[in-house]
């Protein structure tokens, strides 16, 4: 804030009052809801498929646990990186390609023929 004139700064309440509330705000809230829904389904959704995966891929209990945790490991390892990129380059520039790549990785993981491939793709899905 150094170097700014007092006339150029606006309090947050005044800025919100000036901009108003309309279609843009509704679309942003709707988009954020879809992104949040995507994150939750990507992270937790695989737990609903574990009983089927157990039969299809002949998974042990240990491997089922790894499958359930590997997406969270991806989130933990990459969250600071994605936060830095979003802060420095803009959220829209980061979220659009990440969501698109996440879609393709999830689609690929649904075609996984074995445990290793599925675990790696779920980890990559967690990274995105």
Between helix 61-89 and helix 91-109 the angle, nearest 10°, is 160
Q: For a pLDDT cut of 70, what percent of the chain falls above it?
A: 95
52, 81, 54, 67: which is closest to 123 by C-alpha? 67
- Going by C-beta distance under 8 Å and a sequence separation of 6 or more, which residues neighbour residue 54? 64
Please determine, for residue 6, whether its predicted confidence score (pLDDT) is greater than 70.
Answer: no
pLDDT in tens, 13-56: 887 788 778 888 888 889 889 888 888 888 788 888 888 888 88
Split into its structural domains, the chain has a count of 1
**Domain range holding 78?**
6-127
What's the pLDDT score for residue 11?
Answer: 81
What's the pLDDT score for residue 123?
Answer: 94
Question: Is 1 among the domain residues?
Answer: no
Question: Is 93 among the domain residues?
Answer: yes
């Amino acid at each position: 804030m150094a170097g700014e004139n007092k006339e150029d700064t606006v309090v947050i309440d005044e800025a919100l009052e000036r901009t108003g509330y309309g279609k843009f705000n509704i679309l942003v809230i709707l988009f954020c809801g879809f992104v949040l829904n995507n994150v939750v389904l990507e992270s937790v959704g695989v737990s609903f498929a574990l009983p089927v995966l157990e039969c299809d891929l002949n998974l042990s209990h240990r491997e089922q646990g790894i499958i359930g945790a590997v997406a969270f490991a991806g989130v933990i390892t990459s969250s600071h990186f994605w936060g830095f990129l979003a802060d420095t380059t803009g959220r829209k520039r980061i979220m659009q390609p990440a969501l698109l790549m996440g879609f393709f990785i999830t689609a690929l993981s649904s075609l996984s023929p074995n445990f290793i491939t599925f675990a790696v793709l779920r980890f990559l899905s967690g990274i995105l």
